[in-house]
Structure 1
């Protein structure tokens, strides 16, 4: 076979291969590589977004329009939660205290404080204080404070040791899984009703054993069906 014939044969082979595989096939490996890389990035982002405290707002600590120290009022002065949040035993939603509640004490106490003077301005002008909600539930989730308080679930179990917080922050994820965990095994989170607001309450009895007694005494059967929280 002559050199010319060999060259012609190679050209024929190249042409035949190009006819079998279209041009875009050459970039197919790059497309596959980019797709795999994108999928990996998406999965990593998904886990980072959905399974980190940032998504559940754990650690959320908003600045309030007027500073209020729970450490001082609850921890040092012994103020009961229900003095300000008066409706937690009777209403589905925990109320934020009106400025009149604050003025019960501060009409006479610390009147020289700039913060109390700002409080007084709101009171005299009949203007509510725009407190920033710390524990925010989605609109599609229903939570009844009164049912939980009357079931013997302590404030500390959801809100943490607010008596030690200068500024209140969110300590729990408030996620569906977190709620269901308690509904399926409520005993460790139960206490006698008279101690629901006591932050440092302890018992010599096993929490599990005491919880079983209280669950029977209070006739508790926490629901796990969707409509219990999604209405």
Structure 2
């Protein structure tokens, strides 16, 4: 059978294929190296200002929605703007050194660069509003934030962990009016209550890939 490609052409084709393989492998390694991993569970994350949920929520009684303004109507909970911080801190602790970055941000009109703690990969779709509408409390995913002097990740947020709730939502669902109550406890068996709420809120046990990977 006559040779289709010359030795030189064969060498060029092999080099091109090899280059593509190396480029693909290099792209994967670069992506893994530059991808920001989520902080370790239980380890506080250093922020531009040492914000204490324990002080603001537990002691002062500030509702989650005051700072996370879009949590009920958007996929993203929203980070508080400096203007929100200054509604209080233009009146109290106005000279506190620890709040100097907040005052500077307000005066210079430059937002504070908070570090994400619960940062899911870009290929995962998560919607805060639908979970809240279905009666999943903040504490289910974020842990007892109201008792954290500095914020840390409390749950693994892995696919298997998420699927655990999607497979048995009755273990976690609560009445909607208690979604933002960090200390709420059911007065009856959680599964009994949960099964009623699953039916009432029309919660479907969605475990197909397209639910989160769109």
Question: Which runs of structure 1 show a deviation greater than 6 angstroms over 4 or more consecutive aligned residues?
Answer: none
Q: CA deviation at 1:55?
A: 8.0
Counterpart for residue 103 of structure 2: 120
Structure 1's 110 and 58: CA in aligned 2 closer, same or farther, altered over 3 A? same
Cα distance, 1:203 vs. partner?
A: 2.1
Q: Distance in 1 between matches of 2:66 and 2:205?
A: 28
In 2, are the aligned partners of 1:89 and 1:145 still within 8 Å (CA)?
yes
Quote how far apart the aligned CAs of 1:202 are.
1.3
TM-aligned CA deviation for residue 121 of structure 1: 1.3
Indicate if the aligned counterparts of 1:56 and 1:175 stay in contact, CA closer than 8 A: no
Q: Secondary structure in 2 aligned to 1:120?
A: helix
TM-score by length of 1: 0.74
In the other structure, the counterpart of 2:162 is 179
Unaligned runs of 5+ in 2: 1-36
The equivalent residue for 1:154 is 137
Secondary structure in 2 matching 1:83 = helix
Q: CA RMSD in A?
A: 1.4
1:226–1:56 Cα change, 3 Å: farther
Distance in 2 separating the partners of 1:173 and 1:85? 22
**Cα gap change, 1:55 to 1:154, in 2 (>3 Å):** closer
8 Å Cα contact 1:85-1:97 kept in structure 2:
yes
Instruction: Name which one, 1 or 2, has greater alpha-carbon Rg.
Output: 1
Structure 1: runs of 5+ lacking an equivalent: 1-53
- Is the Cα contact below 8 Å between 1:58 and 1:173 reproduced in 2? yes
